[in-house]
Each structure stands twice: as structure tokens, then as C-alpha cells.
Chains A and B, each alone.
Chain A
Amino acid sequence: MKAKENIKANWPVMVLLILGLSTIIFPLYMTIVIAFKNPSDMTTTISGILSLPKSWSLDNFRQAMEITDFWHSLGYSLLITSITIVLCILLHSMIGYVLGRTRAKSKFYNFIYLFIVSGMFVPFAILMMPLAKQTAVMHLGNWVGVILLYVVFYMPMNILLYSGYLVNIPTALEEAARVDGASTWKTYWSIIFPIMKPMHATVAVITALAVWNDVMTPLVIMAGSGTNTLPLAQLNFQTQFGTNYNLAFASYLLSLIPILIFYVICQKQILNGVVNGAVK
């Protein structure tokens, strides 16, 4: 059966798919060749812009790193993203567990559940002005504040995911542990938390992609703090690139490389996570 299927591979569709890939490869190709070129290699004709560079120089990258303070921005992006993921997994799974287990029976918990989940419809646009003020007053107009906000913003979605996942986990396990005299707190961390591992992966992937690429939250909250995330650095130093597009593209490419590496290594987990997150 398997062999038969292989023979019948649909070649016309494959050819179209390969052609279609050019819409994805072209912008990336353009970014790479421009990033490696010297401004003097650029002419206004298409072939001048898109030809391979005469010499592959790393000069643009060195300069771009200096201008955008690349390592600092990368560091803050990594810091913010990783702490957010850890906090989301620990806190959201915990509250998701309680709400998932109780909301069928308890009006109080069901209200909390609906209250938080409906937060999904609140656009950042309405929160950003009050939040900018509030975080400034609370001395959270920095990366710590940004992390706290992410933990709050992704809470509705993640609680939905966790409490939905819990439906499939029988309560027998917890009851058995309780009979053995384990506390609720201990039962959660030693039994339920490890069982929800597939959901942790999904939450980690979705949160990572969203946080890593987010511009608006750091833009509004961290604007005056002198620190940047990778995307924010691109925005803030855009004017300094001027018309030196080679420099600008080197900087764009630098900011894309970490996530590209991540994608190449964990593409399977990423695809699964994204689908799980959207479909459930």
C-alpha cells in the first residue's frame, strides 16, 4: 500500500508547491544578499540589488551590532522570553488546574474562570495608556514590568488550554494520592504538573513566539528605560541606518537569526504547539 502511494505522488502539485516556495524564499534571499553587500555594490537596477555580493563581508554586521547594541538587546529578549515562559507554565498551569477541577461544581470558581478568560477580548490598545502610567508609578517601566504584563496577557488563553487539557486527566490519580495522605499542594506538583507536560510544551511554544516577536508591549512600557528587545532595537535605531540599507538589512538578518535557529531545531514541536494552541 505504502509503495503504491509513493508511485502515485502528485507531481503537478509538487511543481506548483516548489514554485510557490519562491514567495517565501525570495524575501529571505533579498535580505541576505543586501545584508552582505557594500553600499557601493548597490545600483538602482534589480540585477544590481539582487546579484550575489562580490565579496561576502561581515563589516555590515559588525557595524549593525554596534549601532543596535545587539548583544544587550539579544540578552534582554532572551531574558524576558525565558522568564515569561517559566512563569506562564508554573502559574497558569496551577490556576488552570484549580479552575478546571472546580468550575463545574462551584459558581465562585466558574465566575473567576469566565472573568479571566473573557480577558482575551480586551485589546492592548485600551490597556496601553493606563498601563504606561501605572507601570511608571509602580517603577515597573522596565523589563520586569514587561514580563508581568505578558504573564497577565497570556493568562486567558493558557487557562483555557490547561483547564481544557485537564478534562482528559481522571481525578482518580489525585484521590489515590490523597488517600495516601499527600497534601493538595504536593499532589499537584508531584502528579498533575508532570502529567500536563504536553500542554506545557504547547504553552511554551506559543508564548515564546508571541513574546519574542512582540513590539508593542516593550515599546509602550520600556520606552524610557534605555533597554531594548531585539525587535524594539530595530524600531528605535531605524533612523540611524538612514539610507544605508545594507546596514539595516544586516541588522534585520541578525534579529531574525535566533528565531530561525530555534525553528530549524524544534520545528516539529513548534508546528505541533501552534496547532494545539489554536485548535483546542
Chain B
Amino acid sequence: MKNEKKRTYLLMTLPILALFICFNTIPLIQGVIYSFTNSRGFGSYDYVGLRNYIDLFQDLRVGKSYLFTIKLAIGSTIVVNVISLILALALNSKIRAKSFFRAAYFLPNILGSLVVGYIFNYFFTYIMPAFFQMLGTDALSTSILSNTKTAWIGVLIVCAWQAIAMNTIIYISGLQTVPEEVYEAGDLDGATGWARFKNLTFPLIIPFFTINMVLSVKNFLMVFDQIMALTQGGPAQSTESISYLIYKNGMAGGQFGFQSANAVVFFIVIVTISVLQMRFSSKKEEQL
């Protein structure tokens, strides 16, 4: 009897584990191996030791892509979480047609980000400049995507437009866990407005804040579709995200080995940031 259970458990697990190893673990190991080679993606290649990693830290284009991606991730995370929190508070307050509003505000999240990117691309290129021309603001009469200083803001807006929907819905479910009595008790102490939010509401929804932080940072660090649709990394490589650079130069640009090293570093960065975030926020939760 016991043996039957053990055998069945193994049969239920091992084939699926094998599938996982075949398409996740093995390619991961291969990626690491390629990172020590000068492979161009085809033909023969040699092992070059740590050459790629040394080059990586001296490569301006790679450095620029890290700066851009991190700038975008931090910027979007702040913008998205501030707006989502406000929006969630509004959607959780005493309003009519609550479920309609919630459903409507979630809509951007279900749309494919590539097509959303294309739609916004047109908006930034034609509608916005025309609008500012009409107002007579010359500074903004060209597309923000064509300027190296402002293109990242365009990417941020599109990322935020979709991410706010997701984060808001998570904050709302957090706010619903706050019992009404907490507010009633707060009312007695005269806690209203900002004080009420800061001292009562926010501490109680910190777990949801953590989820949103982890989710936002991870998603924005891996940004790809929006770049593809909006700027293709331009102008002058000012909006090249790490994923986009690895795809572009690794898959088609003959830098298979070099970009593999880049991907390994990227992997380490993501793991480090995720672990740090979880450590940090679980400490904060303990303090409360």
C-alpha cells in the first residue's frame, strides 16, 4: 500500500520534472557555458575564459542599457505605486457603480503590450506634438520619442498605463482586508485624511505593498515589448533595455557568447534584487 503511493507520487512528479529540466535547467546551464565562449550563434567557437565578463564591464552600450533599465524601473515603480494607491483608495471609497469602475480601470492590463505600444507610439508621434503646436508650446512640438532626453518618459508612460491597472487591483484587495472597526477606532482618536492613511491604513496593507514592489521592479527590469513597439532602443540607443539588447545583439547581431555573459549578469542582478526586496520587506512586516 505504502509502496503504491510512493510509486504513484514519483510517476506524477518525475516526467514533469524532466520537462522542466529539459527546457529550463539545461538551457540555463548552456547559457552560462556560452558566456565563456566567443560564439556568434553559428559555426565553431572557442572558450575565452572570463573575456566576455571583462569586456562587459567596459562596454559602454551595455552600461547604458543597465542605466536606462534601472532608471525606468525605479521611475515606473514610484509613479505606478503612488498612482495605484491613490486610485485604489478612490475605488474603495463610497462610490456608486463600484464594480464598473474597477473593471474599467483594470482594462489596460488585459491588452497586449506590443499593440498598446504601437497605439501609444502613434499618439506620441502625431497627436501630442499636434496638440502642443496648437497650444503654441514649441518645446514639445516634436515627438518625445525622437529626443534622447525624453524618450524614456514615453516608455515609462506606456509601462505605467498598463501596470497601474494591475497594482491598483492588488491594493484594492489589500484595502478590503482592513476591517471597518479600525477606521471607527481611528475616528474616535481624530485620525482623518493623511494621518489616518499613514498611521492606520498603510501599515495594514504593507504585505500588498510588498507584492506590488516585487512585481513592479521585476516586470520593469525585464521590459521588452514596449521598447520593441515604441523606440526599438532608439534614439541613439538611449532606450535600449537589457532584454532588448540581449535579444537584438545576441540573436541577430553575432554576439551570442558576449550577450550570454550579459544575460548571466542580468540573471544575478534580478535574483539579488528580488532576494533583497523580500528580506527588506519581511523585516518591515516584523517590526509592525
Q: Which A residues contact B (CB, under 8 angstroms)?
A: 5-6, 8-10, 13-14, 16-17, 20-21, 23-24, 27, 30-31, 34, 44-46, 49-50, 91-92, 94-95, 97-99, 102, 109, 112, 116, 119, 121-134, 148-149, 151-153, 155, 178, 183-185, 188, 209, 212-213, 215-216, 220, 230-231, 234-235, 238, 245, 248-249, 252, 255-256, 259-260, 262-263, 267, 270-271, 274-275, 278-279
Contact = CB atoms under 8 A, between A and B. Distances in A.
Given A9-B94, A128-B247, A234 B103 contact: no
Contacts, number: 235
Contacts of A151: 19
Given A10-B93, A99-B13, A183-B8, A121 B127 contact: no
A123 B263 contact: yes
A178 B91 CA distance: 49
A151 B96 CA distance: 41
Contacts of B107: 24, 263
B111 A259 contact: yes
Nearest to B115: A252
B115 A148 contact: no
Q: Which 4 A-B pairs have the closest CB atoms?
A: A126-B263, A213-B112, A130-B27, A130-B30
A231 B228 CA distance: 12
A184 B119 contact: no
Which of A10, A99, A119, A122 has the most CB atoms of chain B within a 10 A radius of its CB? A122
B208 to A, nearest CB: 7
Contact of A116 (B17, B122, B251): B17
B34 A130 contact: yes
Contacts of B72: none
B248 to A, nearest CB: 11
Nearest to A106: B9
21 contacts: A10-B94, A13-B93, A112-B17, A119-B24, A121-B270, A124-B243, A125-B266, A126-B28, A127-B31, A155-B24, A185-B12, A215-B114, A216-B247, A234-B114, A234-B118, A249-B119, A260-B111, A270-B110, A271-B106, A271-B169, A279-B170
A127 B11 CA distance: 27
Given A17-B101, A123-B270, A129 B95 contact: no
Contacts of B126: 44, 49
B110 A121 contact: no
B213 interface: no
Contacts of A248: 118, 122
B119 A31 contact: yes
B26 interface: yes
Given A30-B127, A152-B24, A278-B166, 11 more contacts: A112-B17, A119-B25, A123-B270, A126-B263, A152-B22, A153-B24, A231-B112, A256-B112, A259-B112, A260-B111, A262-B110
B134 interface: yes
B242 interface: yes
A20 B107 CA distance: 13
A220 B251 contact: yes
Contacts of A21: 101, 104-105
B77 interface: no
Nearest to B105: A24
A44 B126 CA distance: 8
B16 A131 contact: no
A125 B101 contact: no
B90 interface: yes
Given A10-B94, A126-B260, A275-B170, A27 B123 contact: yes
